[in-house]
Amino acid sequence: MSRIISPSLLSANFGNLDADLDMLNLSAAEWVHLDIMDGRFVPNISFGFPVIKAVKARTQKVMDVHLMIVEPDLYVEKFCQAGAQVLTVHVEACTHLHRTLQNIKSLGMKAGVALNPHTPISSVEEVATLADMFLIMSVNPGFGGQKFIENSLDKIRRLKQMLTEKGSNALIQVDGGVGAGNAAALFEAGADVLVAGNAVFSAEDPQKMIETLLKA
Ligand code: DX5
Ligand code: ZN
């Protein structure tokens, strides 16, 4: 089991992203999380390629890109060129998930699969050993700063068990409502990567909050 913190830029200051990226460069976070929203898969629009490229140019962290978009296959190569190193698609948005994951991996990126809160673990059983990471959404995707859905803890435990049974080494990532109050329980349940937006960027001392989450 690994412990990685991936701060979500959705809660960063887009008027001065470099300052937040420099702060993260000095922090214990290994990854940086970029939320891409298209206004169709989720009821919100975030940012696209010019911003991703600007982040790539400044950050020293692993570029963890979370696609909340329909038809992600159309853009896999462009996200790779923009600097994505981990590329996560939603199972609900992929008709041919197996092919999409193969495509992501063939371009040299790590392939992640995200599950909305209502989506059962069984929907990804057949790709247990193909995906490099599974993302359990612990809020309904679209916005930062939402309340953690408690059922997610049990879902992580069940996912962990399924992956163990299948002999998969895939990482488990959790995204939404993560903070100092639930980080320990999430790691204990089997999470490897914690995404945190609001908790990190609204903290008085974001670097200290990242340490707190890591050592929870
Ligand atoms: C939600 C995004 C999250 C979000 C998390 O749709 O996928 O990454 O930024 O934000 P917090 O940590 O504030 O819940
Ligand atoms: Zn996300």
Edge to edge, what strands does the sheet with 62-68 contain? 4-7, 193-196, 171-175, 133-137, 110-115, 86-90, 62-68, 31-37
Cα gap 31→4, rounded to integer Å: 7
Is 135:66 a contact under the CB 8 Å cutoff?
A: yes
- Residues noted as catalytic: 35, 175
Cα gap 18→89, rounded to integer Å: 27
Distance 175 CA to ligand 1 centre (A): 6
pTM of the model: 0.98
How high is the pLDDT of residue 2? 87
How high is the pLDDT of residue 140? 98
How high is the pLDDT of residue 1? 72
Is 114:127 a contact under the CB 8 Å cutoff?
A: no
Instruction: Give the mean model confidence (pLDDT) for residues 2-27.
Output: 97
Per-residue model confidence as pLDDT tens digits over 169-201: 999 999 999 999 999 999 999 999 999 999 999
Distance 196 CA to ligand 1 centre (A): 7
Distance 127 CA to ligand 1 centre (A): 25
When the pLDDT of each residue in the chain is averaged and rounded to a whole number, the result is 98
Per-residue model confidence as pLDDT tens digits over 102-130: 999 999 999 999 999 999 999 999 999 99
Instruction: Give the mean model confidence (pLDDT) for residues 134-148.
Output: 98
Report residue 4's pLDDT band, with 50, 70 and 90 as the boundaries: very high
Position in ligand 1 atom list of the atom nearest CA 176: 14
Say whether pLDDT at 210 is over 80.
Answer: yes
Cα gap 206→196, rounded to integer Å: 11
Question: Do β-strands 31-37 and 110-115 pair in parallel, antiparallel, or remain unpaired?
Answer: unpaired
* DSSP result, 22-86: HHHHTSS--EEEEEEEBSSSSS-B---HHHHHHHHHH--SEEEEEEE-S-GGGGHHHHHHHT-SE
Ligand 1 surroundings by CB, under 6 angstroms:
8, 10-11, 33, 35, 66, 139, 141-146, 175-178, 195-199
Ligand 1 pocket: which of 31, 88, 115, 143 to mutate (most atoms within 8 A of CB): 143
Residue that is written with structure tokens 């995200």 in the block: 114
